[in-house]
Structure 1
Amino acid sequence: MTLDKGKIKNPDINRRKVVIGTAWSIPLIAVAAATPAVAASLAPVVVTPGPGTVITDWKGDHHYGSNEEDADQRAYDFPVTVTDANGNPIVGASVTVQVSGQNEDGDVLGIYEYPAPDNDGPEEDQSRNASSVTGADGVALFAVSTQNLSSDEVPSTATMTVTVTYNGTTTVSVIKVVLNSSD
């Protein structure tokens, strides 16, 4: 290498090699620019049950544990499914369900990560929120216990707020529960 009036000359570097080097660097820039677009396409998630869902087929009648032998006394299974915009399951999304609402005697609903414990339900164990993570099928499974309602307490309403966080994005679904019947 020789120095000539402030310029460096290297016999091993010529104009053709500089052009080849420049051409090879362009795809690297293009790949780097495409990566955020791919990440952004994953941000929207679809949560089922979605916003505006109303559940009316549950009874207010002491539904406690998930493993109760009597099917009329079992807690209700409450699956939350999280998918991408194309319907593919999202694995590892954080899901939290919070319940609110009460009648004259106390809480209307109890929420648990599946399975629900065999306990005295929302009257004694006022579990107002539960969290889980979606599995390979994109589902986080919860169990809902209902409080026994007298005939003058129906209908009773409650709200379930489902919050899903995945890839830095949070999606919220608010679900209304109307308990129209009791035994």
Structure 2
Amino acid sequence: MPPPPSAAVSSILRPKTPPDFSFRTIPLPQIRRAAAGAASSRLVLARADSSGAARGEGAETVFFDGGAHYGDLAANLLLGLTLLWLPLTLAAVSRAFILRYRFTSRRVTVVSGLSGADRTDFPYSSVTSVVVVPRFIGEWGDIIITLRDGTKVDLRSVPRFREVADYCRSMAAAEGSLVTQ
């Protein structure tokens, strides 16, 4: 005959009843969605505040406000599967999450840094040349802007780079600072 079960063995074989949990529902706040057309467009025509305007004209018009092209990030993530391309993939990821470009009727703004604290502004009157370099069969490209003091500002992976560069050239020509070659 088998020996009688002890108290320690019987507690393992017969599990204790689970504790009683009570759940209650909490109402969630309503989420409001913006208009789909305004949020999906990269080219935006908007009015900004005219305070601090140098010439005292009307409101500043935003022509382009956006970051690096999403195709640059996707292509570099795909190529990042090879260890050889990994440093370039990290650079593309940082460009996608850190850089923002804004072209307005008065100036070019480049915002970088995790918190957006690094900001570079320059007016079109200081632009002497604008050069474009297409990337990935012309889907996105780099814009190299040369300023009067010889500084070269390199804007990488700009979507619709030809339109943006043409706008920058036309605004610099209107200011009279663009050097013809």
Q: Kindly indicate whether structure 1 or structure 2 has the higher relative contact order, using CA contacts under 8 Å at least 6 residues apart.
A: 1
TM-score norm. by structure 1 comes to 0.21
The structure where helix makes up a greater share of residues is 2
Report which of the two has the higher share of strand: 1
Q: TM-score w.r.t. structure 2 length? A: 0.21
